[in-house]
Chains A and B, each alone.
Chain A
Amino acid sequence: MTEEVVAEILTTHILDLAADGRRLDGRGPDEYRPITTEPGFVSTADGSALIRLGQTRVLAGIKLEPGKPFPDTPNAGVLTTNAELIPLSSPTFEPGPPQPGAIEVSRVVDRAIRAAETIDLTRLCVTPGEKTWVCYVDVHVLEHAGNLIDASLLAAVTALSNATVPAKRFEVASEDYPLDVLHVPIECTFVRLGDTIMVDPTFEEEHAAQGRLTVATDETGRVVAMQKGLVGAFSPDDVKAVARRAFAHGERLRSLVKGGRS
């Protein structure tokens, strides 16, 4: 009910512009908004990063705690990802249990982290079948101005990249040590606006979109996760073209993560 109604003429204007390959904010179809990263933003977290993607702002924090491995994976650590679309971040979000939108962001980010083998879960195991590290990735959206998926994964992997395993505090080892990040997945999200497919949609562009497509790639040239969202459709050729663009953007965005560890 608190859904803000976007004026139909704004949506029409966005589509009119898109027909000429233009956008409301003057960007080209294949241009991201400016991105800044602030690793280590939260000192109480074992790893953290604040990401600004245009006006979208996402904070990710990592917490590691000793726990029990799952019975079917006795030699592996446990990784859980949770995204909170808190009502502070948008007039369209309500307080209460996680909405489907928040759950989708959580799961799409989680899939990319997991599938890319971002962290080697077997290295989180302390005693097989008994004790392992549980790694919590908590994503806190502070301002929703579109493209939460890309900002959230970028925040999550930047936070993982500067995370420390608090082994000393939990008396698991004598010294803390850095969490090993093996691969860096990057998600790139595109929306269809008429016949044009634009990267990094704003809130208004997502609203006008006739389909959203996210492709996650890693630095080894693998596609590791995808998600088609919103109402609308893509042809297989669209998907191939989007994947190619996602690899190119992925390479550039990955350098922001690499610069993450201070």
Chain B
Amino acid sequence: MGNVGAKDVPVLLSPEGLRLDGRRLDELRPIRIEAGTLHQADGSAFVEWGQNKVMAAVYGPREVHPRHLQQNHKAVIQCKYNMAAFAVDERKRPGLDRRSQEISKVIAEAFESVVFAEEFPRTSIDVYIEVLQANAGTRCAGLVAASVALADAGIPMVDLVPAVAVGKVAGQICLDLKKEEDNFGEADLPMALVPQSGRLVLLQMEGHMTEEELGRSLDLGVKGCREIYDRMKAALRERYALTPVAGGAA
């Protein structure tokens, strides 16, 4: 079976260098972004990315609850990443778990790096991410959805924040891993980029790769993020029936 030797490992890379779903190494899964999908929220987005389905909503800036989280000189950004019980193969128990809490924290911090929070002292910007169907890369899909939702909510920020995971699969650096590649690959490296500054505001890594591979992974990830950035802007233009303008975050 597999070229790595273990019994259950599928062939992750064909002799032609194509991946399980026929993608090239630097190719993204199909991605569809819908801005403004919910009516109640101040901003929202639905992202279908490969086999991922993720909804995000933004409420705020609004009064802070609980009040002790209020900050005198800026808005507090509260993020809740949550996974529906049926979003994964083995049913996930509803409610907060350590994984969701960690992801919520790093996503909130990514947004704190770009939102002009000082414009709204003593308020809260609440970002809710719901993973409805998961297939690797949900934190990146969630971050993309939430970023579009923030823009849809009219929140001032440096830029949209595209995100993507890069990984090492069967010895090769690949863009945007799907579940089997994530499970059986050698490394997974999700990242989020601020295109305006070229800096990364979310970065995690698990697995093993060489220094040289890390360098190539970062370059590939940035390239992927820029592709996703274009899709995010297109989704917002479609929502507001706009024609492109040169430059700027939106």
Contacts and interface: CB of A to CB of B under 8 A. Distances in A.
Contacts of A140: 84, 130, 132
B190 to A, nearest CB: 20
Kindly state the interface size class of chain A when it binds its partner.
20 to 34
B59 to A, nearest CB: 6
10 contacts: A2-B62, A2-B65, A42-B86, A44-B86, A44-B135, A65-B90, A82-B85, A89-B40, A138-B91, A140-B132
Nearest 10 Cβ contacts at the A-B interface? A61-B86, A88-B128, A45-B86, A63-B91, A138-B85, A88-B57, A42-B133, A1-B65, A140-B84, A55-B39
Contacts of B94: 82, 84, 138
A192 interface: no
A138 B40 contact: no
A205 B200 CA distance: 47
A145 B39 CA distance: 9
A113 interface: no
A34 interface: no
Nearest to B89: A44
Contacts of B85: 61, 63, 82, 136, 138
A170 B166 CA distance: 32
Nearest to B129: A88
Given A43-B133, A44-B88, A88-B57, 16 more contacts: A2-B65, A41-B132, A42-B84, A55-B39, A59-B84, A61-B85, A61-B87, A63-B86, A86-B82, A87-B126, A88-B41, A89-B38, A91-B41, A97-B95, A138-B86, A140-B130
Contact of A59 (B41, B57, B91, B132): B132
A88 B55 contact: yes
Interface in A75-104: 82, 84, 86-91, 94-95, 97
Contacts of B91: 63, 65, 136, 138
Nearest to A63: B91
B53 interface: yes
Label chain B's interface by main secondary structure. loop
A82 B126 CA distance: 24
Contacts of A41: 53, 132
A89 B56 CA distance: 10
B134 interface: yes
A12 B127 CA distance: 34
A125 to B, nearest CB: 20
B51 interface: yes
Interface string B119-150: 00000001011101111000000000000000
A59 B86 CA distance: 10
A89 B94 CA distance: 16
B128 A42 contact: no
A39 B158 CA distance: 40
* Max chain B C-beta neighbours (<10 A), residue from A65, A91, A97, A136: A91
Interface string B42-67: 00000000010101110100110100
A157 interface: no
A89 B37 CA distance: 11
B87 A42 contact: yes
A138 B130 contact: no
Interface string A215-242: 0000000000000000000000000000
B80 interface: yes
A35 B40 CA distance: 18
Nearest to B66: A1
Contact of A43 (B51, B55, B62, B63): B51
Contacts of B62: 2, 91
Interface string A41-65: 1111110100000010101011101
B101 to A, nearest CB: 11
Contacts of A42: 53, 84, 86-87, 132-133
A87 B128 contact: yes
A142 interface: yes
Contact of A143 (B39, B53, B63): B39
A144 B40 contact: yes
Contacts of B55: 88, 142
A41 B129 CA distance: 18
B40 A145 contact: yes
B130 to A, nearest CB: 5
Nearest to B53: A42
Given A82-B94, A86-B128, A88-B128, A44 B134 contact: yes
B80 A87 contact: yes
Interface in B56-107: 56-57, 59, 62-63, 65, 80, 82, 84-91, 94-95
